[in-house]
Amino acid sequence: MDRSCERRFYWMSLTLAIASLTLSFMAVADNGSAAQPIVPAPPVLSWRDEGRAVWVNSPDGKLKVRTYTSAQLSDHPVLVLWIHGDLGPGSEHYELAQQLAHVADNVVVVALLRPGYTDADGDRSAGLKGYAVGDNYTAEVVDDVHAVIRELKTRFHARAVVVLGHSGGAGITGDLLGRHSEDADAAVLIACSCDPKGFMARWLAGHPHDAPPRLPNHSLTPVDLANHVSLRTHVRMVIGSNDTVVLVPPSQAYAQALKARGVDIRLTVVPGVGHVDVLGTPAVRHTVGEVIALEGGAIRAPAK
């Protein structure tokens, strides 16, 4: 399968996963009774009509984010930053942020367009994308994300910051926790690309034309930074047992390193699901809801 086909398959799978996640948020409440809506359902708008595009300064230039706010918002909401994976976004990461804002209270959900990537509007964030094969979780990229969090936390007067990442976005999240330990109060790493060099080697073995031979990999590795993660940060990890893209053992190794340090860490391995499908599982819904609640927000079932 060439990379264009791989990309189409990835986004088809991700679209289905987002739909599953949305239905999961609307499911029956945990106690078995029907969940009662807190506010009326918002009108159904496209991700373009509802979100607001904001350009944020970073050391490499301006990065694009789209912001979505929940219907109920205090003066000091929880800032939730969503970081997409390596293959790059169309609009799906904006749609996921929009759906999360629809089912949450007291949150501002921000979808980041990673450095060097171009979105469905044709907008491009500054910085270097590299070859997007696990080679772009560099110190420069992590510092760019740090700058985004610092500016948005001030802009929205956020009481806390929760970082959510999938795949390469989760790998960057892990690097952020160690390199800028003050940035995040909680984080959820979904299908973490926690071993970028191993991921690159496996990917290029199957896709040898995606990058030059002997491409250097300057990505940071979360496990190498684990001893710098703040002891006050809540870290959750979710991965599918059938994830053949990033594999389960690197997530287990990172979780063990955090546990040894004394960090509040929990790793959930979901049976029978893969790299993208895990996004649509109840395990992700529960985990995201848990960390948002820990920081002063809430996940609820929306009105029908």
Dist. CA 99–CA 25, nearest whole Å:
9
Q: Which residues contact 52 (CB under 8 A, 6 or more apart)?
A: 66, 67, 68
The tens digit of pLDDT for each residue in 187-197 reads: 999 999 999 99
The tens digit of pLDDT for each residue in 34-93 reads: 344 444 454 567 888 888 999 999 999 999 999 999 999 999 999 999 999 998 777 889
Q: What is the pTM of this model?
A: 0.88
The tens digit of pLDDT for each residue in 254-289 reads: 999 999 999 999 999 999 999 999 999 999 999 999
Dist. CA 201–CA 223, nearest whole Å:
18
Supply the pLDDT for residue 29. 36
Dist. CA 274–CA 238, nearest whole Å:
11
Supply the pLDDT for residue 39. 45
Dist. CA 189–CA 182, nearest whole Å:
17
Dist. CA 255–CA 243, nearest whole Å:
17
The tens digit of pLDDT for each residue in 125-173 reads: 999 999 999 999 999 999 999 999 999 999 999 999 999 999 999 999 9
Whether residue 8 is predicted with pLDDT greater than 70 in this model: the reply is no
Residue 248: pLDDT band by 50, 70, 90 thresholds?
A: very high
Whether residue 4 is predicted with pLDDT greater than 70 in this model: the reply is no
Supply the pLDDT for residue 26. 46
Query: Tokens 């690159």 appear where?
Result: 200
- Cβ contact 129:117 at 8 Å: yes
Residues 88-111, mean pLDDT to the nearest whole number: 92
User: What domains can you pick out in the chain, each with its CATH number?
Assistant: 3-299 (3.40.50.1820)
Supply the pLDDT for residue 285. 93
- Cβ contact 165:190 at 8 Å: yes
* Residue 264, strand partner residues: 234
Supply the pLDDT for residue 300. 77
Supply the pLDDT for residue 120. 92
From the list 187, 198, 177, 208, the residue with the least C-alpha distance to 243 is: 198
Supply the pLDDT for residue 14. 56
